[in-house]
Chain A
Amino acid sequence: MPDIEKLRSEFLDLEFDRTGFVIEADRSVNVAAAFGETRTEFIDPSHPNFQACLPILASLASGRRLPIDFPSLGGISMDGGKAVSSLAPVRCGVPLTGRTHLHDIYAKSGRSGTMVFLVSRMQLYDDAGNHLASTDSRQVIREKPA
């Protein structure tokens, strides 16, 4: 079991990645159509409020998943979930910058052993520095069975 408090004190809230993105309109439309979205602002690029759909924001991947000096925790890593907080519409075809930090580290113990949760938060900004959205990726590391 890693020292969770030590990891938190050493790694939380420190930006470890900065990656540029441009979300193409066609790609966002195709993703939205693929899950059956019907709202026109997500599937019609000619709509005056056309914007990227939330799942495509959740799909944006930082250049690194964890800080370069983050220790290996062993275990079995799984995608535990995703979250998106929308502050303003994210437009397609414009440069975006994703700044990523570890937002939370915690552990849970249960019948199947201990699981460590690493929550990476990417904050998306436009070129003017406006914070448009945040996405959380929850990585779960489960103890290997003895």
Chain B
Amino acid sequence: MTVQVLSDVEFGMDLPDVEPDTSLEATRRFAEAVGYSGGGRFEDHGKARAQGLPGALAPGIMGMGLLTKVIHEWAPKGTIKQIDTVFRAPMLADHEHIVSAVVTDIDEDKNEVILDLSIKNKQNETRVFGTATVTLPGS
């Protein structure tokens, strides 16, 4: 389901959950694109474990990217004015995750929607959470 204008948005509505690609290949590709690769923590489970990590990780800002993708697909005409992500715990590569968001406020004067955001693993443990402010056409 998508929304085009502010009047399409209802308080408390959930954005469609998304199961993103957080495979090792995906975290490696993101790390290379953003310039974080080379140390192994995002590209190689063995090298990550040698650094004391539980395995290779998704870069924190990859979580921000996954959340922006979900918002952009939900609101094709929306603009993300602000996004704040808290890295509560590592997102492990090759583990499955669920990206969720819910509308927590609507400001009709500013044409803005506030979203609560989260990325959880399949054990329902929060890895990333945050908020976003999205502007939408009024009508």
What A residues does B80 contact at CB under 8 A? 54, 86
A55-B61, A81-B60, A82-B61 known; A38 vs B73 contact (CB < 8 Å)? yes
Assess the B61–A59 pair: CB atoms within 8 A.
yes
Assess the B79–A82 pair: CB atoms within 8 A.
no
Assess the A39–B34 pair: CB atoms within 8 A.
no
Contact with B along A18-62 (1 / 0, CB 8 A): 000000000100111111111100000000000001111011000
What A residues does B69 contact at CB under 8 A? 35-38
Interface presence of B138 (CB below 8 A): no
Q: Shortest Cβ distance from A30 into chain B, in angstroms?
A: 4
A30-B33, A83-B85, A85-B82 known; A55 vs B73 contact (CB < 8 Å)? no
A36-B66, A81-B60, A84-B82 known; A59 vs B35 contact (CB < 8 Å)? yes
* Inter-chain pairs besides A27-B35, A81-B84, A84-B83, 13 sampled, C-beta below 8 Å: A32-B65, A34-B62, A36-B21, A36-B66, A38-B73, A54-B68, A55-B34, A55-B65, A82-B87, A83-B84, A85-B81, A86-B79, A86-B81
Residue count of chain B within 8 Å CB distance of chain A: 31
B-to-A contact residues, CB < 8 Å: 20-21, 26, 29-30, 32-36, 60-62, 64-66, 68-69, 72-73, 76, 79-87, 130
The distance in angstroms between the C-alpha atoms of A78 and B53, with both chains bound, is 13
